[in-house]
Chain A
Amino acid sequence: MGMASMSSGSESLRLCVFDLRRGQNEGQELDKILFFYPPDQTFSTQLSVIGLSEGLITFTRLFSPEAACEVIEAERHSHVFYEAEPDIWMVMVVEKNKEIEAIWRVDALQRILKEVHSLFVMFHGSIRALLEKEPTGGLTRSHLYPFITDYLNDLFVGKKLQLPSFRETLKERGTVQMLTLARDAAIEVQSLVGVLDSCAGTVRCHSMILFHDLLVSTTLSPDDTVDVFTYSVMRLTRNAISSGTSSWSYLRKGSTLSQISSRSSSPQLLGSSDPSLPSGNGNNAGRVIRPLQHDKWSKGTDGFLVTDIWGRDATPTILLQQTQERVYLLTYQYKNLTLVLLVPDNAIVNGELDISFVKHQVIENASAKILKVEEKITKGWGGENAYHVSGYRYLIVDTDMEVSRASPPGKVATLAKETLLAQNKLRETVDTEKSRTKEEKDMEISIRAKNNAWVMARLTRGKELYMALEKASETLLDATDSVQSFSHKYCSGVFSMD
């Protein structure tokens, strides 16, 4: 009966989803497994990962009833926990390997789990709701398998899974990256948003506008904005559709080629280990919808994006977190401008007929404004390195608004490995400090690393600044001054300490 090896072969990642309320009787343990990656692992391996996780969740609750197990750090693996919904846990087991630079921040890994879960909920509703709808779990499994597998495919570069390592320490997953607008462009955008809002007649629509992979405007709540933004950058923006284009967003990794190669294996991965794949998923289509499938979106002749993911000529719907309402997702693209229109389903009575009416309204009423906005933004657009500040490598996070801005990845890549590692550790320290208190932390840490680089963190009123400076001659006071002037110039003094 031996215990299945936790480190068989070259598996660098395991990811599972399980429900603590299921399979509590002996012999029914398999019932709790809702998802396991890689799916070709034996059941005993799957159960061993889940058994350990479950054991430690119970164990830690003895001492910490309010917050159960978040991470297990072992010599060779990190097990990262996330309780996605009450009693529904996602656990990611990643192999530590210094040679391939597999050095992470637990919080960054946890954000992956959070991201995939909130995207899942956006399309399919909560896992618990699916389980209640169909208590055998078959329906849930048949949705989770393709969804998470498609999501993971985005993290592959070639055959290698690339998790957010220390090299991405100056990035923040689960936040939105914004475009800064000039005043005149902002006015144009405002007026375009007004038009989009009223495209479905009396029922107010939500909208989100992106330029390249940056957010221009949104009328959604911050949480919903993050989800829709994430999906847009993954699949809808111009860069995402023509996926050969490299992106500076961490949301899309490798080239098309590698995605195909990793995807080619996915059909047999999907649901293969679930014998009870049910037909029918409540969408009448008789098949499982895979919103994260690659290369399924393209631009139609009318400028709206089309896909057959939801079936031929079917318009996708998503669930908004804040209002719990289902909305239709329409995407219009003009050059690098992507407009996401979210139409409440009570505005759509006659199905596709009403949809085409809304589309018509957009083209009719907004086209001219879209043209103008695109022109204004393009004129003021500084390119990929628009937010580079010479001499600085930085990340600014507004945790309340879930917005971040960072030095362009190409510039961050010029930092020495030691600097990035030190910055990564510093972020870990800050993560720990933040997790210990519910109040907003006000703190400042500046470290001069062995290689003389300064890595710094400043937290104040829900805003965070991380910065790396590699000028060797600087003293603590010089480094402080640098932060100070950066804060005054680019952050309206938020991080200034005087």
Chain B
Amino acid sequence: MMTSDLSSSPSSSGTEFADPNPSTDPETNSERVQSQLESMNLSEPSEVSDGSHTDYSGGDDDDENAGAVEVALSNGNEGGVSNGCVAGTSVEEEIEGGEASSRAEYPVEMEAGEEPPSPTSSGYDGERGSSGGATSTYKADDASEDEIREANVDGDTASQHEAAWLPGKRHVDEDDASISWRKRKKHFFILSNSGKPIYSRYGDEHKLAGFSATLQAIISFVENGGDRVNLVKAGKHQVVFLVKGPIYLVCISCTDETYEYLRGQLDLLYGQMILILTKSIDRCFEKNAKFDMTPLLGGTEAVFSSLVHSFSWNPATFLHAYTCLPLPFGSRQATGTVLQDVCASGVLFALVMCRHKVVSLAGAQKASLHPDDLLLLSNFVMSSESFRTSESFSPICLPRYNPQAFLHAYVHFFDDDTYVMLLTTRSDAFYHLKDCRIRIEAVLLKSNVLSSIQRSIAEGGMRVEDLPIDRLLRQKPNQGQAGHESPRDVSVGTGGPFGLWHFMYRSIYLDQYISSEFSPPVTSHRQQKSLYRAYQKLYASMHENGLGPHKTQYRRDENYTLLCWVTPDFELYAAFDPLADKAMAIKICNQVCQRVKDVENEVFLQGASPFSW
């Protein structure tokens, strides 16, 4: 099968291109964009196309013979929370290689379960504790160490459509000529300023060389005019650009996210790359503009894909704060004390983490860890299989701390969830750090911290249903149930009191946040993601550049009633039923703040070395 539009492009002329989804519109070829820019004789896209296009012989049965287009119906859309990419069409295409039986486990995986046909649930299993039998179905997967996953749990269709999120790259067989590729809801690209592809979320980087050159052409075209392109909007699509020296980052997305957040995501993606390579890669580009960076990032796809995945479930990615595992004050205190001791012995940072949550951390004098660095660090450790199998000593860079220099990270997992990270500037410190770890482990065992952690995981975090309702409020006549029932009974199936569905509380001074567990009716993954997107928008609108922060915001649409309150000490984001009473919602918000203050010793890490930067 030959596609005329492709063969017309200079880079792939004469190439047999077996495209399972041939473009039907020859006008919309990315090569054309370049030629339009080129035809003006005004830009000079680099010669990335020479030979970098993979020869695609017709015999590739994965793509040709078995290249049936699987149509995954997504008309299980739930009312207003749909993030449907193509308005009016509820059909997404998915290429399914017939021979690729291994992929059959997750046949529906448009943007990693982004639009599964049914509501899904996700999260770190176990951590959700009793909040639903849904995730426990997938407990078996623990063996394969998929910490982050998504699971379809729609009661009706769960058996037919199950999508588990697995780290790593998908759809490598696609490129910019595939319709399916173009329909992906969110693309991320990293390229060099000469147009060489470094990373693409979907598709094979090498096959995307032409596309990458187009992106480079757009950026440099605007740059040559003395400007810098930030954003292009087209319908529901946003193309967001971020230039970091010789590295260009681009996101093309039709998810309902704000420009600010998408740009923040690119920033984190860049940070993740720096964490692996340090900023000294800039020098490689100075020496050789055509430097190929891809080999340096070999094997890190899982790190990037898990970071991209976290953009849709981890509030730390937009709150720029970290969260702690709820623990008895004493357990955290004991851990903190030993970590501080360790830091006094020449360790720069010492952290005990449970998945992406902090148990305790300490830093050497004057050293402070930015929450974004913490996020990237835990993502790196959590998504790399090798850290789990043995104690590791690996060079890493903390982009916010010092983007130029490598630190050395000693990582050891105490169990599946809990691990210690010790960071040092000394490359010969392995045995010292190992000793430190042994000391820490001894304290954790002695103080029963590890079992407290397991208990905390099982119990989960704060729940809106558990909020103590002010007696006065409970007696309000408009709440049908009488006061003799416990608050929990009042709200079964409907979240917390008076329509409270969820909240997030961010302590500004501590750089930490606490977020309630998801409660009904926000149970499916789709609903949770939709709520996070609503929060992100709220956050962006409260922290408007040059204007913010605003003080209060009330927002109601067909999906939620959202309330946000920003003070010098904290920020509160709360989601209610769209029909929630405004006055009551305000009262509940006050109670949430009070409740968080009541338990702050358990949910926050207090008195750590000051976290200024």
Looking at the assembled complex, report how far the CB atom of A52 sits from the nearest CB atom of chain B, in whole angstroms: 6
How would residues 531 to 548 of chain B score, 1 for a CB under 8 Å from any chain A CB and 0 otherwise?
000000100011010111
Please indicate the chain B residues that have their CB under 8 angstroms from the CB of A70 in the complex: 233-235
Known: A29-B40, A58-B32, A441-B557. A63 touches B548 (CB 8 A): no
Please indicate the chain A residues that have their CB under 8 angstroms from the CB of B176 in the complex: 62
Q: Interface SS of chain A: helix, strand, loop or mixed? A: mixed
How would residues 466 to 487 of chain B score, 1 for a CB under 8 Å from any chain A CB and 0 otherwise?
0000000000000000000000
- Residue B226 is within 8 A (CB to CB) of chain A in the complex: yes
- Residue B229 is within 8 A (CB to CB) of chain A in the complex: yes
Tell me whether A450 and B547 are in contact (CB under 8 A).
yes
Tell me whether A62 and B236 are in contact (CB under 8 A).
no
- Residue A7 is within 8 A (CB to CB) of chain B in the complex: yes
Tell me whether B225 and A56 are in contact (CB under 8 A).
no
Tell me whether B235 and A449 are in contact (CB under 8 A).
no
A444-B560 Cα distance, complex, nearest whole Å: 11
How would residues 276 to 288 of chain A score, 1 for a CB under 8 Å from any chain B CB and 0 otherwise?
0000000000000
A interface residue count range (under 10 / 10 to 19 / 20 to 34 / 35 or more): 35 or more
Q: Which one of A1, A66, A69 lies within 8 Å of B233 (CB-CB)?
A: A69
Tell me whether B237 and A60 are in contact (CB under 8 A).
yes
Tell me whether A444 and B227 are in contact (CB under 8 A).
no
- Residue B552 is within 8 A (CB to CB) of chain A in the complex: yes
Please indicate the chain B residues that have their CB under 8 angstroms from the CB of A73 in the complex: 229-233, 259
Looking at the assembled complex, report how far the CB atom of A65 sits from the nearest CB atom of chain B, in whole angstroms: 7
A55-B537 Cα distance, complex, nearest whole Å: 30
Known: A448-B553, A477-B583. A58 touches B227 (CB 8 A): no
- Residue A325 is within 8 A (CB to CB) of chain B in the complex: no
Please indicate the chain B residues that have their CB under 8 angstroms from the CB of A421 in the complex: 546-547
- Residue A422 is within 8 A (CB to CB) of chain B in the complex: yes
Query: Which of A67, A73, A418, A436 has the most C-beta atoms of chain B within 10 angstroms of its own C-beta?
Result: A73
Tell me whether A447 and B552 are in contact (CB under 8 A).
yes
Looking at the assembled complex, report how far the CB atom of B132 sits from the nearest CB atom of chain A, in whole angstroms: 30
Q: Say which one of B102-110, B214-222, B488-496, B596-604 lies at the interface with A.
A: B214-222
A70-B182 Cα distance, complex, nearest whole Å: 19
Looking at the assembled complex, report how far the CB atom of B318 sits from the nearest CB atom of chain A, in whole angstroms: 16
- Residue A445 is within 8 A (CB to CB) of chain B in the complex: yes
Known: A29-B39, A72-B232. A447 touches B237 (CB 8 A): no
Looking at the assembled complex, report how far the CB atom of A50 sits from the nearest CB atom of chain B, in whole angstroms: 8
Known: A55-B36, A65-B28, A66-B87. A3 touches B548 (CB 8 A): no
- Residue B296 is within 8 A (CB to CB) of chain A in the complex: no
Q: Which one of A7, A29, A54, A425 lies within 8 Å of B547 (CB-CB)?
A: A425
Please indicate the chain B residues that have their CB under 8 angstroms from the CB of A54 in the complex: 36
- Residue B550 is within 8 A (CB to CB) of chain A in the complex: yes
How would residues 402 to 436 of chain A score, 1 for a CB under 8 Å from any chain B CB and 0 otherwise?
00000000000000001001100110010001011
Please indicate the chain B residues that have their CB under 8 angstroms from the CB of A438 in the complex: 87
Instruction: Tell me which residues from 7 to 40 in chain B have a Cβ below 8 Å from any Cβ of chain A.
Output: 25, 27-30, 32-34, 36-37, 39-40
A63-B254 Cα distance, complex, nearest whole Å: 9
Tell me whether A52 and B551 are in contact (CB under 8 A).
no
Looking at the assembled complex, report how far the CB atom of A435 sits from the nearest CB atom of chain B, in whole angstroms: 8
- Residue A64 is within 8 A (CB to CB) of chain B in the complex: yes
- Tally A-B pairs: CB < 8 A: 197
Known: A52-B221, A55-B36, A64-B235. A6 touches B227 (CB 8 A): yes
- Residue A26 is within 8 A (CB to CB) of chain B in the complex: yes
Looking at the assembled complex, report how far the CB atom of B433 sits from the nearest CB atom of chain A, in whole angstroms: 44
Looking at the assembled complex, report how far the CB atom of B227 sits from the nearest CB atom of chain A, in whole angstroms: 4
Instruction: Tell me which residues from 364 to 399 in chain B have a Cβ below 8 Å from any Cβ of chain A.
Output: none
Looking at the assembled complex, report how far the CB atom of B210 sits from the nearest CB atom of chain A, in whole angstroms: 12
How would residues 133 to 175 of chain B score, 1 for a CB under 8 Å from any chain A CB and 0 otherwise?
0000000000000000000000000000000000000000000
Q: Say which one of A74-82, A212-220, A379-387 lies at the interface with B.
A: A74-82
How would residues 442 to 454 of chain A score, 1 for a CB under 8 Å from any chain B CB and 0 otherwise?
1111111110100
Instruction: Tell me which residues from 1 to 48 in chain A have a Cβ below 8 Å from any Cβ of chain B.
Output: 1-7, 26, 29, 44, 47-48
Tell me whether B32 and A443 are in contact (CB under 8 A).
no
Question: Smallest CB-CB separation from B559: which chain A residue?
Answer: A443
Please indicate the chain A residues that have their CB under 8 angstroms from the CB of B36 in the complex: 51, 54-55, 58
- Residue A71 is within 8 A (CB to CB) of chain B in the complex: yes
Please indicate the chain A residues that have their CB under 8 angstroms from the CB of B231 in the complex: 71-73
Known: A52-B221, A446-B553, A449-B550. A75 touches B230 (CB 8 A): yes
A-B contact pairs, 29 of them (CB 8 A): A3-B43, A3-B221, A5-B225, A6-B227, A26-B39, A48-B40, A48-B225, A50-B40, A51-B42, A51-B221, A55-B33, A58-B28, A60-B232, A60-B234, A60-B239, A61-B234, A63-B254, A64-B254, A67-B234, A75-B227, A418-B547, A435-B235, A436-B236, A436-B256, A443-B557, A445-B553, A447-B542, A447-B554, A448-B553
Q: Which residues of B come within 8 Å of A, CB atoms?
A: 25, 27-30, 32-34, 36-37, 39-43, 86-87, 176, 182, 214, 217-218, 221-222, 224-237, 239, 252, 254, 256, 259, 537, 541-542, 544, 546-558, 582-583, 586
Q: Which residues of A come within 8 Å of B, CB atoms?
A: 1-7, 26, 29, 44, 47-48, 50-52, 54-56, 58-77, 418, 421-422, 425-426, 429, 433, 435-436, 438, 441-450, 452, 476-477, 480
Taking A67-B237, A435-B235 as known contacts, 5 extra A-B pairs with beta carbons closer than 8 A to each other, sorted by chain A number, are: A29-B40, A55-B221, A60-B234, A71-B231, A72-B229
